[in-house]
Amino acid sequence: MPEGDHITPVLPSFSRRRNLREEIIETLRGAVISGQLRPGVVYSAPSLAEQFGVSSTPVREAMLDLAREGLVDIVRNKGFRVTELSDADLDDITHLRALIEIPTVRRIAEAGVDPAVIERLRPLATAIEDAARRQDLIAHVTIDMEFHLTLLGLTGNTYLVETVRSLRSRSRIYGLKILAEHDELIPSSHEHSELLDLIKEGDADGAEQLMRRHIGHVRGIWAEESAAEDEESHP
């Protein structure tokens, strides 16, 4: 079994942060979702802490929080391993997300949103595209989650938001790196700005269709990489 000290993910270093533990949790969660941290690899708190430029304690505490969320498993006396999900698991998660997020976005568009609120979401949409251009996958999935949860939060339904947060955290989007390297991540990233335009215009049908396509990308991305891995293992 490979150790985290031998397989090094690309993680940012932290300097002065307002809440270091939350920053580490957010970054590690993004690394799991984007596939920067992979199943089958044991990552140690000291090796990750060295990359972050912090002590092992906040990293270990963050990983324990992610273990409680079901994102990683504790490997006794060694570290942590990303919880592996089957294709069926990922299908089920994507299906549930579609059942919740698509009709909710439609209702938001139908109800109407104050244009000032829409404009407050614009910086997040822009930041998602910027992360795609920089091929910063962790920032991409982290800001993407913030955008969608903030948008869904306009319903005022905290239970709905927390359910989607849990589903998104358990997602795995392993093909992002391939798309980013070929500049194919930018078009899907721009859909966030398009979605805001549709909601601002009150176009419920358009918002629903775009959200359906947007969630469909998630299934397509990891499925395509899974197929590519199968071809490599069975030439």
* 31 close to 80: Cβ distance less than 8 angstroms: no
Confidence of residue 14 (pLDDT cuts 50, 70, 90): very low
Positive or negative, the CA dihedral 162, 207, 182, 127 is negative
The yes-or-no verdict on residue 52 having pLDDT over 50 is yes
Q: From CA 47, how far away is CA 5, in angstroms rounded?
A: 6
* 58 close to 20: Cβ distance less than 8 angstroms: yes
Tokens of residue 72, six digits: 């990683």
How many C-beta atoms lie closer than 10 Å to residue 113's C-beta?
Answer: 16
Per DSSP, helices labelled H in 53-184 are 56-69, 87-111, 115-134, 137-152, 158-170, 176-181
Confidence of residue 174 (pLDDT cuts 50, 70, 90): low
pLDDT over 90 percentage in the chain: 41
What's the pTM value of the predicted model, to 2 decimals?
0.80
Q: From CA 71, how far away is CA 143, in angstroms rounded?
A: 18
Q: Which domains does the chain have, with CATH numbers?
A: 20-82 (1.10.10.10), 87-233 (1.20.120.530)
Q: What is the pLDDT of residues 188-231, one digit of tens each?
A: 889 999 999 999 999 999 999 999 998 887 765 644 444 444 44
